[in-house]
């Protein structure tokens, strides 16, 4: 039974539940989904500073999960535009799929240009930069914001849908043919929104599950020949679960 | 039971068999794989001219399959660097996954830069152009040729492996961290070569199966809002199965 | 007497006549213009699927012309944004000039940025992709559509001019300094529109004639050292005039 | 008296001393240089994982310095290719200068193309990505590694110089006209190496001091209109000095 | 006492005074600023033709200054978007800083994207091209014109401020986070405009002073290993002060 | 009778003769070629400084020719990689064709990638920058130097051919399919070198003649809607033939 751990980037357990449910909804019958919630870090990630703190919370939670939990075959990093995918690739044995990248790849299979609709305006450059480094920005026609904070998404689902639809329509009018939901917290809405918009809407979490299952099925994992090679041991102060790597 | 049609781009039924077997090897237990072979076109595709002829053979074979065969949920275009994915997206209802793009996306999940190892030198620009249009070229460090023609791949498997390994090692030395097998006819070799090279080797056919299953599971298909919108009917001369679209 | 064949990409003989007349209008006195019309394919090309079918019709028509007709010194492919130039370069001995590329090059000699005004919105990505692969997209400020289908261009010339002028004015307001007429069927209108707009308007067909004559005068033709090298013989099924290349 | 804090990214106080000395050597007479060393994090940063841990150590150290220490007018982040500059820009009031970017900018004032010579091969993509996001990669001809770990730089200065010179000479032969020392730990060697190589050698730390002084002199600091706007308060768990922002 | 020569690109001595005053306002106490005014060339530079004439005027003035004046440690070329920086780098021993590049670099330290607000629309491509060649265009979100000619800037300061503010506000609304004043003649207004706009405003002249002082402090100057190597002597007709280089 | 002026960028009348002869060799029978030699400027252009001086010599010579000579229908700027095309576009009524751009465009019609073989290594960045600004660099695989100065080209034709052939062969081995002769002084050698190399060799001068004739035949000239608009009069000191534009 393949096991996929879906790692939330903030400390909200309700968001982990939302994300895990979305993941489970598309997973193969024999795939087990485990939700992981950091015990440290911000309650939501909407800035570079919060992203940096979140990355460490994610790393520690993944280290704990991989040490203490059942074997995990693939990891999904469920933060949109956040840093940390590369660090996880170094930390764990199995493959790591970032939802920002999974959404973009999936969208690129479905139409000419795609657009991302996200939360606050200040996160737009963060998402753009993640896509640029991932080499997936060329076919992105726009990244725009609903001006709803992450924690507002759950508070008023109807207003959230309304805001996403408005931004999506504008993006479609300007040449996008596919919409990516630009926040882990938007998980679970793609099918309904797709019906309303008349265009494919991609949920990064469900997109990532397909990619993770595919990598497991092909026995593929992170390359260790270059930047993600296993590191020699080194003294790391103040992070007890990550230190003592040098023997 | 989801059904995926794997479309060979040349008229070789043994190559269709190779490709279908690779697809089946990673497909979910309940996924049905159907191999499709064009009845018209070149015995192998290694030039732009052959690519253009192949595209029509592929279109006709897919039209026949979708009209006469069982319902197909997703289509895989099993030509590396060939034209035709966009035309198929217009022709069929379900999503279409090109193995060139599927391989690149999968490779980008596994390492920093990827390289493509293909057949003849003259096909290098064709693959590069496909990746560029797909927006997937940024993280490609090289596309190099084994100087083995498509039809030679099957003739001498040992020489083929040897040639692929040599090109792959050079690519890895020059910064690639993942290798893509740059020809549908190389399907089925990835796992063994990966062991030899000590780096992930991606087979576009198996990569495409995972993406196709993922799209089916998410009920996602080609966007009809823009360049792949349904076309109004039009007189098409000399292609009887494709004409009579105008009513 | 140099001979240039101007190849229409659809089956409309009146469009071939329009294109040929435009070509003749700028050709040197001793240049002979031959119009070539495919006997197979769509009546107009406005989708990827039609483009693929058209490419084969073009290939067969060019093969017939080069086998049965008088010697041709250069070929012009008169489809805007269509595939097929590279295949023709492999098929014939003389140079091949695509009107999409000829228009862009000519425009780039005349102003800082150029814009393309074309037919239907769905063809915009096709033209953009042709220009990108040709390495001529950097100085293109926009590609916009009149929303007139190819076959409507001839039906109502006055409405056509009006639509082209409206799109052109918007493009000029947004930084373009030169306009390219983005459809072979718009041939013959450049001079008049240029007068109305007060900016250079480039007709791809007349632009291509100049480039073709220039290549003939310099005795230059397609390089055979790489991707356009002569191919070894190969069995090609279902295309009788193109098979039997293997001896 | 302007005050510039130079923030080391690892926990090595000897490296902080090296960096501070380099900074002081070019600072204006009335500029005060304060060295800041994280109390948490890795002893050297050579991987994405270490980079993520280092970022938090840097953030905490900067927060402590800005809360408890004398007023700081500008901050220098002395890690080459590390993450964290954007987070610091959100955290502190004064401007933040990253040595990777400062070195590149300075190099671009001195010659056509520049090259970076760094420590381990695995850090090359990290530096490339930093430069790409900073929009400073276009004129970078190469980033190459000496294969010396950060902690080895100090252990054998002569071997270090030898390795840097060898990589630099190869870069100059391949078109670079300026060399950037790609590690904070290489600070203080630029002048001597420049004499040996006959080409400008840029030390990111000294380059950053000039930029920091310039920003102070112009009263310029981080823009708060977009991605670096002040964030509303939010619960942040497990980072006591950074929480309690919400009032 | 370090000496920096600030070279105006037009023949207006009042503009030289404005520029020199701006430079002096941020220079270190012991830095000497020398204003240089060409005796030949246009009264303002707003076209490529004027730029070419200006370049020669600048070269002659710099040659005269460096031959007859006191030693100069660094040169600032105070034309926004003008040609000539590379020629000066060949002509003089010390480093040369172009204000277009200095402004862009400084802006990139302060926010995600920057915008340039300049004089006439026709100069926009000139500035864009300078930034592109300098490798500094990636993070430029727009270059827009106030439609005020260079010589009008001084005539009506209030109208000038008004026009700059209007363009800047539009740029900030469209994603820019920092504004660059895109004309040497706008020098001296940055601080006031920054206060009005609530965003950093960068004056290329003051930005260049900081970079020039930084290069002097680091003993860095133009690389002579490649394109800016010292040239062998050559007969140059009609430019007496520049000829007789061949011995 | 169409008249094309071919403008040499240096003061060598023998080079003007070489260039004019090459131009005449491909011109239509009724085209008149006029060679123009600057009376001021360097004897050859191999640096940015010489390029700046040359630009003014070219401007003055073209102004004299257009004022005193017979009407000219199109101008060819026969310097490879030199500045000045844009200034000429503002100065004269007819179109201006730069041989660097003409060569690249022509090469792009003939093969996948092209290479430039030029004179001294220091001119490589100048040519690269010209091609980048012209938007023609994407398909350039290399620009390499023979290490022969411009004035050495004529001195020893056999050594020149030998050096060009060596560089060209290396470029072809590395993926180029077409060679551009990267110096006006190499004019007249293309046909012979093409025979030796077995690949198309493009002479920028003959390429430019074809483009110039084509523009004349289409009645196309420089757009006056933007950056090349006619300038209002302005005082220009020290260039008597160019002043007095203000009325």
CB < 8 Å to C112, chain E: 125
User: Which portions of chain B are predicted below pLDDT 70?
Assistant: 244-247
CB < 8 Å to E125, chain C: 112-113
Considering only CB atoms, F39 lies closest to which of E59, E238, E242, namely: E238
State the nearest Cα–Cα gap between E134 and chain F, in angstroms. 10
CB < 8 Å to F124, chain D: 175
Considering only CB atoms, E237 lies closest to which of F41, F86, F126, namely: F41
pLDDT of res. E245: 54
State the nearest Cα–Cα gap between C26 and chain F, in angstroms. 6
DSSP string, B199-232: S-EEEHHHHHHHHHHHHHHTT-----SSTTSPPP
pLDDT class of A64 with cuts at 50, 70, 90: very high
> Are D218 and E177 within 8 A, CB to CB?
no
Considering only CB atoms, D226 lies closest to which of A59, A122, A237, namely: A122
The answer to whether E52 faces chain F, any CB pair under 8 Å, is yes
Region of D97 on the Ramachandran plot (φ > 0 left; ψ -120 to 50 alpha; else beta) = beta
What does the pLDDT average to over E46-58? Answer: 96
> Are D237 and A90 within 8 A, CB to CB?
no
What does the pLDDT average to over A55-79? Answer: 96
Closest chain A residue by Cα to residue C125:
A112
> Are A206 and B218 within 8 A, CB to CB?
yes
Say if residues F238 and E39 touch (Cβ distance below 8 Å): yes
pLDDT of res. C18: 94
The answer to whether F112 faces chain B, any CB pair under 8 Å, is yes
Considering only CB atoms, D106 lies closest to which of E199, E220, E226, namely: E220
Say if residues E185 and E9 touch (Cβ distance below 8 Å): no
pLDDT of res. B247: 41
CB < 8 Å to A175, chain C: 124
> Are D226 and E177 within 8 A, CB to CB?
yes
Please write the tens of the pLDDT for every residue from E14-46: 999 999 999 999 999 999 999 999 999 999 999
Please give the order of strands across the beta sheet that includes F3-7.
F32-36, F3-7, F74-77, F96-98
List subunits contacting chain B, requiring 3 or more Cβ pairs under 8 Å: A, C, F
Region of C103 on the Ramachandran plot (φ > 0 left; ψ -120 to 50 alpha; else beta) = alpha
Provide the pairing of β-strand A74-77 with A96-98. Answer: parallel
The answer to whether D210 faces chain E, any CB pair under 8 Å, is yes
List subunits contacting chain F, requiring 3 or more Cβ pairs under 8 Å: B, C, D, E
User: Which portions of chain F are predicted below pLDDT 70?
Assistant: 244-247
Phi–psi pair at C42, nearest 5 degrees: -80, 155
Say if residues B85 and B77 touch (Cβ distance below 8 Å): yes
- With touching defined as 3+ CB pairs under 8 A, do chains A and D touch? yes
Closest chain F residue by Cα to residue C114:
F223
List subunits contacting chain A, requiring 3 or more Cβ pairs under 8 Å: B, C, D, E
The yes-or-no verdict on residue D246 having pLDDT over 50 is no
- Best F1, F28, F30, F109 residue to mutate vs chain C (most C CBs within 10 Å): F109
The yes-or-no verdict on residue C245 having pLDDT over 90 is no
Name the average pLDDT for chain D. 94
pLDDT of res. D162: 96
State the nearest Cα–Cα gap between C108 and chain A, in angstroms. 24
CB < 8 Å to C86, chain B: 48
Q: Which two structure tokens, joined as six digits, stand for E170?
A: 């539009």
- Using CA of residue B16, residue B17, residue B18, residue B20, what is the dihedral sign? positive
pLDDT class of D33 with cuts at 50, 70, 90: very high
What is the pTM (predicted TM-score) of this model?
A: 0.97
| B 145-174 → C contacts, CB under 8 A | none
pLDDT of res. E246: 46
Helix (H, G, I), strand (E, B) or coil at C203: strand
Please write the tens of the pLDDT for every residue from F172-213: 999 999 999 999 889 889 999 999 999 999 999 999 999 999
pLDDT of res. E172: 98
**Measured distance between the N- and C-terminal CA atoms of chain C, rounded to whole angstroms:** 34
List subunits contacting chain D, requiring 3 or more Cβ pairs under 8 Å: A, E, F
Closest chain B residue by Cα to residue F112:
B125
- Rounded to 5 degrees, what angle do the CA atoms B110, B111, B117 make? 90
Closest chain C residue by Cα to residue E128:
C112
Rounded CA gap, C157 and C186, in Å? Answer: 10
pLDDT class of E247 with cuts at 50, 70, 90: very low
A–C CB contacts, 8 A cutoff, strictly below: 3
> Are F55 and E57 within 8 A, CB to CB?
no
Please write the tens of the pLDDT for every residue from D113-136: 999 999 999 999 999 999 999 999
State the nearest Cα–Cα gap between F132 and chain E, in angstroms. 8
Considering only CB atoms, F110 lies closest to which of C109, C113, C220, namely: C220
DSSP string, C95-146: -EEEHHHHHHHHHHTT-S-EEEEES-GGGHHHHHHHHHHTT--TTEEEEEE-
- The strand pairing partners of A115, in sequence order, are A142, A179
The residue with tokens 């730069």 is: F98
CB < 8 Å to F132, chain E: 132-133
CB < 8 Å to F221, chain C: 110, 200
Closest chain C residue by Cα to residue E143:
C175
CB < 8 Å to F177, chain C: 223, 225-228
Taking each helix axis as running N to C, give the angle between helix A204-217 and helix B204-217, from 0 to 180 degrees, rounded to the nearest 10.
Answer: 140
Q: Which two structure tokens, joined as six digits, stand for D63?
A: 């927060």
State the nearest Cα–Cα gap between B196 and chain C, in angstroms. 31
CB < 8 Å to C125, chain A: 112-113
pLDDT of res. E244: 53
| B 30-49 → C contacts, CB under 8 A | 39-44, 46-49
State the nearest Cα–Cα gap between C1 and chain F, in angstroms. 13
> Are F223 and C109 within 8 A, CB to CB?
no
> Are B226 and C125 within 8 A, CB to CB?
yes
State the nearest Cα–Cα gap between A177 and chain C, in angstroms. 11
Closest chain D residue by Cα to residue A134:
D129
Give Cβ neighbours of residue C42 (< 8 Å, ≥ 6 apart).
B234, B235, B236, B237, C10, C11, C50, C53, C54
pLDDT of res. D50: 95
Label residue F3 exposed, middle or buried (CB < 10 Å: 0-12, 13-18, 19+).
middle
pLDDT of res. B246: 45
The yes-or-no verdict on residue C246 having pLDDT over 70 is no
């Amino acid at each position: 039974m393949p096991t996929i751990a879906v790692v939330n980037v903030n400390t909200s357990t309700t968001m982990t539940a939302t994300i895990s449910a979305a993941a489970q909804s598309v997973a193969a019958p024999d795939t087990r989904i485990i939700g992981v919630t950091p015990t440290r870090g911000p309650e939501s990630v909407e800035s570079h500073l919060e992203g940096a703190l979140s990355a460490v919370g994610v790393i520690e939670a993944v280290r704990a999960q991989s040490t203490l939990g059942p074997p995990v075959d693939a990891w999904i990093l469920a933060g949109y535009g956040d840093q940390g995918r590369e660090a996880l690739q170094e930390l764990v044995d199995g493959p790591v799929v970032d939802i920002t990248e999974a959404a973009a790849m999936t969208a690129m299979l479905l139409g000419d240009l795609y657009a991302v609709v996200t939360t606050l305006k200040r996160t737009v450059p963060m998402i753009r930069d993640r896509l640029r480094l991932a080499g997936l920005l060329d076919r992105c026609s726009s990244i725009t914001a609903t001006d709803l904070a992450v924690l507002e998404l759950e508070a008023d689902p109807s207003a959230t849908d309304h805001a996403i639809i408005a931004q999506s329509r504008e993006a479609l009018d300007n040449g996008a043919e596919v919409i990516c939901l630009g926040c882990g917290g938007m998980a679970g809405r793609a099918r309904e929104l797709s019906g309303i918009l008349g265009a494919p809407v991609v949920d990064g979490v469900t997109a990532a599950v397909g990619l993770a299952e595919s990598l497991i099925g092909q026995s593929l994992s992170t390359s260790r020949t270059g930047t993600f090679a296993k590191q020699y041991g080194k003294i790391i102060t103040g992070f007890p679960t990550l230190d003592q790597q040098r023997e």
